[in-house]
Amino acid sequence: MIQVMSLFIALLFLCAVFIAGAWGLAWRLVPEHRRRARLRWLLPWSIKGLVLPALLWTIMNLGVSWSLQPFMPEIQAAQNKGGDWLPEFFRVLAAGLFIVSSYWAAVTLGWSLFEARVGLEGESRSDFKALCWTAFLGMLLPAVIIVMLASDVRPRDRQHELRQIFRGGMGNH
């Protein structure tokens, strides 16, 4: 249980970093005279795009009744086995909150960058484009590394599987 709660707290901290970063950057990308309007847009967007999906994910995985079982099979199995199913619930909840907050932050930043680009002209616009491309390319390398570390692809095993399929013919593996 301690390991699961540590994971939950760590991912909750990362969620808070994503949310604060998206709020801060969306706020800073807007000229001062339009910041109040940005806040009026950002608050309802945060509720619709962040709070409601997180709340829905939590409710869907609680297993509210016998007819509405938890969405994730790991929680269903833990509840049906009896005993303590909360560690599995917190693990799934942490993963869901992490996904929701990171996607929300990416969409929020993308939209904020798009709106910031619309108001620029001339050299400011080309400088902004260059900055966006530099940031994109700078983030591409860590993203590729993360995907490679997280994937379960072993090229040697895949080659072996393909050889077996083609030696035995299609459907005989």
Q: Which pLDDT tens digit goes with each residue over 112-122?
A: 888 888 878 88
Write out the DSSP string of 39-69.
Answer: HHHHHHHHIIIIIHHHHHHHHHTT--SSSS-
Question: Do residues 133 and 50 touch, judged by C-beta distance below 8 A?
Answer: no
At residue 157, the pLDDT reads 60
SS3 173: coil
| Sign of the torsion formed by the C-alpha atoms of 116, 99, 14 and 86 | positive
Q: For residues 97 and 109, what is the distance between their CA atoms, to the nearest angstrom? A: 18
CA dihedral 52, 68, 64, 96 (to 10 degrees): -40
Whether residue 5 is predicted with pLDDT greater than 80 in this model: the reply is: yes
Amino acid at 158: R
Residue 56 CB neighbours (<10 A): 13
At residue 158, the pLDDT reads 56
Q: Among 95, 65, 61, 56, which residue's Cα sits nearest to residue 78?
A: 61
At residue 162, the pLDDT reads 58
Residue of 26 and 165 predicted with greater confidence:
26
Q: Which pLDDT tens digit goes with each residue over 25-49?
A: 888 888 888 889 988 999 999 999 9
Q: Give the pLDDT mean for 2-20.
A: 91
Q: Which pLDDT tens digit goes with each residue over 75-118?
A: 888 888 888 888 899 999 999 999 999 999 999 998 988 888 88
Q: What percent of the chain has pLDDT over 70?
A: 86
Please give the model's pTM, rounded to 2 decimal places: 0.73
Q: Give the pLDDT mean for 45-73.
A: 88
Q: What's the half-sphere exposure (Cβ side, CA atoms, 13 Å) at 114?
A: 6
* No. of helices (H) and no. of strands (E), the chain: 7, 0
Q: Among 95, 97, 74, 100, which residue's Cα sits nearest to residue 86?
A: 74
Highest mean pLDDT among 7-11, 144-148, 161-165: 7-11
